[in-house]
Structure 1
Amino acid sequence: MRRKSLTWVGWIALFFLAAWLRLNNLESTPIHADEATGAKILSQRIEGTGYNFDPKHYHGPFPSLVAESIARLSGETSWVDLSLFTLRLGSVIAGLLTVMSPLLWAKTVGVVPALAAAACLASSPLLVYYNRIYIHESWLLLFGIITLAALHRLYARKNLPMAIISGISIGLLFAIKESFVLSILAWAGSATLLLVIHRPKLRLHRLRPQSLTLVFLLVLASFGTSSYFYSDGFRNLQGIIDSCKTYIDYETAPGHEKNFSYYLHFLLWPKKTVGTLWTEITVFALAAIGLWRTGKERKSGSIGIFLATATLLHWILYSCIAYKTPWLMLLPWGHVCLLAGLAFYNYQTLSLTQRRSLLLLFIGSIGWQIVQSREATGTYANDERNPYAYVATSRDARKIPEWIQQIQALPEASIRQNNRIAVIGKQYWPLPWFLRDFREVEYHPIPNKSLADYSIVFALPEQNTACDARLDKSHDKFLKSLRSNVPVSIYLQKDLAKAWYQTNPQ
């Protein structure tokens, strides 16, 4: 009874640790460009203008559907009303549920390994940082772990309910993001390896009709679930077709091409750029111990080999794709955290020295991860030297609304009938988020003929030269930072600029 109580105390403590790391000052980091894009999609839902999946530019509809419910509960019903806290809360919830997800494995691997895995998930700076941002990968990680648990139970029990649950889980993965197919390939490869190891004489003709029925139900449930979300509740059947077209039509943004070893360097190689020493290699070391500890046993060894192989295949598949971003590693790294928990499998069979050494490594790893998580989401949250702050939004951008309000409050601006704002260029996100309180804002890929008539003009780098030529005589130019290594030029009409200089001589 005492041991059971201590176990629940451990789970509760981990939940509150995870909540503290993910919720503390949640709105302090400026909105990321991808978040702002997602927020605009969300606004279409909450404003009732309808949702249509775009196979060229956007991912699955599930996260925005969850965010819609949160926004409505918060009383936020428009693009202007949306708050960062509401926008990010869905990812936080997904992260907290992910920390609790090893409970699904507790009966299989033991309570202590499950708790250890949860501690790794709770404190990982990679997971903490991106659980605080409105992106799809937090949900992908959660349902990835749920899907693994469901498939494991389906393999063990072979019953209809588990086939349907597994299918729904896979369908939700698709409804979250199209990249789920990489995980399916990695899991299929891992399962194939286990079949080769444990059942070398398996033949297709030995598969029973019941197994084929279960597979059919799994596929049907998966297709039905994903179709429901992509078609907006079967109201737009074109969405089902578009969900398949995304594998052909999807257009990735330029500038994210990395070399093959990027993910290894990002997660494992120690980096002293700013603040602490950035690396998650100690959890990787625990995962290696977990594989070694379980490798000799049939049941636990299968799980260990599966997780290790799936991690390796995920890394290979993602590394072969030129387009790379840190958040794509959330689901693969979730496998590593689960495997790290297995370092404590049957820990009572270890010698006293081995147990003490393992516990010391574990405590040191979790403590180091917490320090990194705090620095990654605190002081250095949007510092480009922080390896997790990828293409971070500048704090300059956050000050733009206040600056425009001050400009428009000038007497010279208040007597005007025209206080229009123009944004020139294509890669302007997250600028629309900061300009959403202003009514007269227009977006143009290139300068238009009446550019000099706008009170304020924002120009992205590719349009600087053209805007300089058009606005040299009518506007004064200010240089600000929009995102990491992405400046934005702001042109202010000369009479407003003169008045601004008089009120702000610095």
Structure 2
Amino acid sequence: MDNRLFYALFALILLAGFMLRFYDLTNRPIHHDEGVIGWFKLNILNACLNPDLQNFDFVAFARACGSSYTYDPDYHGPFEYLLGAWVFKLFSASDFTLRAPECIFALATIALLLPLRKNLGDVGVLTAGALLAVSPSMVYYSQRAYMDNFFIFFTLGAVVCAVKYLDGRKSIWLYLGAVDLALLFTTKETAFIFAFIAFAFAFVEYIYSAIGMGWRKAKEEVAGAIAFVWKERKAFTAALSAFAIVYIFVFSTMFFDPLDAWNGISKGLGFWLQRSTTWEGHFKPFGYYYGLLVNYEHAILFLSAGVVLFSLRDSFARWCAFWAFSTWLIFSIIPYKTPWLDPHFIMPMAMVAGIGIDTLVNSLKGWQRFLPLLVVLPLLVISTFVAWDVTYVKYADDKVALVYVSGVDSYKLLVGRIENESKRFQGIETPISIVSTDYWPLPWSLRDYKRVAYYGKSVQNQDAPIIISSRSDYFEIKPELIDNYLPPERYDLRPGATVYLYIARGG
């Protein structure tokens, strides 16, 4: 394919991906987890990146910065929080800057297909890129402040670095791969699953090669690989050092809490091994992820399954198929399931589809090479429609499986009501009492208000101009002040989490 045509088509794919992800990025209500994630980022921002330079005390600063973040496996690795804090430092904290990094990394994931042009083929890169650009799951979850977009970028980045290093043996790819893997392991504990799949493929591929070339030749290949590693031991040692430095830097909050780096190793894997088999709140049947593919990912499922036999032309193609199937299988076996994990196998499935379509097109001649477009283009149109519908129309519809415990429009109305009514009192200095066990993601949305009290339970004798309660009977308000408040207004933070807003009369 002509280079200019190839890059023009790829630019159009990136543009489509950009439009689907960044259009009205802040329209969707803030999710419970997004509020917590934003709060973690603010803690690092305030403690580490906004020091009081006039009264600077390094010991106090180091202590505050080191304690601003403590690894909690329930909220995964620290990379997202550290990066987000720097984004807030540079561009201020807002709903847009909370979500924009995820969108950028989601787009960058598509761009990462370019270095694999030799392996995927021109048609393969364009097909895989188009499938990822308009995938309903990829689009919907790229608009959510959650670490899976970073994780998917780093997994593909690791593959790119490995392929480039094996092709040319240039040390730069080894070093970049080490840094990439360090960031992968500081993003999410699912990195252990990816590592297992990579080692499993290497073993299976070795057995496959040994059967083809003979065991004696296979042993010689292994001996040669070991000899090469020994010969390049300085480069491999430097790569391991780069991995360790980056890993510790991120996990220790820029070296201010080195003990937390060990927690990332000792706590994360054990926590999720237990959580994934014991926490029944997110237990789903084996076929859950297959159901998501059938209902939402028509293009990727149909194309990857339909051309899989064309997709096994070489070791890289076999890796993509093994990666996609193994990730889907492992996630399906684990009882703990959430829909935002399906992009983890959707990405390699798109690559499988790309390789298959590329192989099919190259096997045809003349005008016949355009025949696959009769199937691919309609599927892309359908996928685009579904992505738009889920992301911008039904984003809060709990009947849509991808939505899954989403924020609701009622929450946006609650925050808007507080913002408007606080102007009648003291603006961001208005006292606000939150006497509800459910209140997230309010700490994020009310971050600019200076006098917000979070009790986390029902506390009586409240007299703040604005009160948020889980009760509608004025229970927490001082008895003598009840007549001073407007009737309670009901709002939902998310499905199943209802609060009542009390606003004082006057101003």
TM-score (normalizing by structure 2): 0.83
Instruction: Kindly state the Cα deviation for residue 396 of structure 1 after the two structures are TM-superposed.
Output: 1.2
Letter in 2 for 1:60: G
Shift of 1:327: 1.5
> Does the aligned pair in 2 maintain the 1:471–1:491 contact within 8 Å?
no
Over 3 Å counting, the alpha-carbon distance change for 1:282 and 1:335 in structure 2 is same
Q: Secondary structure at the match of 2:281?
A: coil
Q: Which moved more, 1:384-393 or 1:19-28?
A: 384-393
Q: Secondary structure at the match of 2:342?
A: helix
Q: Partner residue of 1:273?
A: none
Cα displacement string for residues 406-465 of structure 1 (whole angstroms, at most 9, x for unaligned residues)? 55566xx78xx994412321x5321222333433322233334x45445554345xxx69
Letter in 1 for 2:308: L
What secondary structure sits across from 2:146 in the alignment?
Answer: coil
Q: Give distance in 2, aligned partners of 1:219 and 1:333.
A: 30
- What count of residue pairs does the alignment treat as equivalent? 466
In structure 2, how many angstroms separate the alpha carbons of the residues matched to 1:451 and 1:211?
A: 71
Q: Is the 8 A contact 1:420 1:456 kept in 2?
A: yes
Distance 1:15 1:408 in 2: 42
Equivalent-residue separation in structure 1 for 2:350 and 2:407 (angstroms): 29
Match of 1:57 among 59, 70, 74: 74
State how far apart, in whole Å, the 1-side matches of 2:378 and 2:462 are: 60
Q: After superposition, where does 1:175-194 map in structure 2 within 5 Å?
A: 175-194=186-205
Residue of structure 2 in register with 1:489 after alignment: 499
Could you tell me how far 1:60 is from its partner in structure 2?
2.0
Q: 1:261 to 1:188 in 2, by over 3 A?
A: same
Instruction: Indicate how the Cα distance of structure 1 residues 56 and 120 shifts in structure 2: closer, same or farther if over 3 A, else same.
Output: closer
**Other structure's SS at 1:399 match:** helix
Show the 5 A alignment for 1:70-109.
70-74=87-91, 76=92, 82-109=93-120
Q: Does 1:332 find its partner at 2:358? A: no
- Any idea what the Cα deviations from partners look like across 1:29-58, whole Å, max 9, x if unmatched? 111122111111111233235342323432
**1:5-46 CA distance string (max 9 Å, x none):** 111111211111111111111111111122111111111233
Q: What is the aligned counterpart of 2:333 among 309, 317, 320? A: 320
DSSP-derived class of the 1:255 partner: helix
**Correspondence for 1:458 among 437, 451, 468:** 468
RMSD: 3.0
User: Alpha-carbon deviations, 1:207-263, whole Å to 9, x = none?
Assistant: 423235376555443333212211123232112112112233569687323222211
- 1:258-273 maps to which residues of 2 (within 5 A)? 258-268=284-294, 270=295
**Are 1:386 and 2:422 counterparts?**
no
| 2: CA distance, partners of 1:136 / 1:110 | 30
Identify the match of residue 371 of structure 1 among 385, 397, 404.
385
Q: Which of 335, 358, 371 pairs up with 1:345?
A: 358
Find the aligned partners of 1:289 and 1:453 in 2 and give their Cα distance: 65
- What 5-or-longer segments of structure 2 have no aligned partner? 49-64
Select between 116-125 and 471-480 the one with higher mean Cα deviation. 471-480
Partner Cα separation in structure 1 for residue 174 and residue 396 of structure 2: 43
Give the letter aligned to residue 10 of structure 2.
W
Q: 1:352 to 1:364 in 2, by over 3 A?
A: farther
User: Relative to 1, partners in 2 of residues 1:166 and 1:454: Cα closer, same or farther, differing over 3 Å?
Assistant: same
% identical aligned pairs: 21
Q: Are 2:70 and 2:260, in contact at CA under 8 Å, matched by a contact in 1?
A: yes
Classify 1:385/1:490 alpha carbon distance in 2 versus 1 (closer, same or farther; 3 Å).
same
Distance 1:159 1:211, change over 3 A: farther
Q: Sort the Cα spacing of 1:453 and 1:122 in 2 relative to 1 into closer, same or farther, 3 A.
A: same
Distance in 2 between the 1:419 and 1:84 partners?
A: 23
- Paired position in structure 1 for 2:262: 241
Secondary structure of 2:492's aligned partner? strand
From the superposition, tell whether residues 27 and 420 of structure 1 become closer, same or farther in structure 2 (CA, over 3 Å).
Answer: closer
Partner of 1:142: 153
Q: 1:134 to 1:489 in 2, by over 3 A?
A: closer
CA distance in 2: counterparts of 1:490 and 1:28, whole angstroms: 23
**Deviation readout 1:54-87 (Å, 9 max, x if unpaired):** 234322222233333333332x1xxxxx211121
Give the structure-1-normalised TM-score: 0.83
Q: 1:26 to 1:175 in 2, by over 3 A?
A: same
- Give the match's secondary structure for 2:398: coil
Gaps of 5+ in 1: 77-81, 271-278
Distance 1:265 1:451, change over 3 A: farther
Tell me the SS of whatever aligns to 1:258: coil
Q: Deviations over 1:356-406 (max 9, x none)?
A: 442211111211111112112222222223332221111111122332355
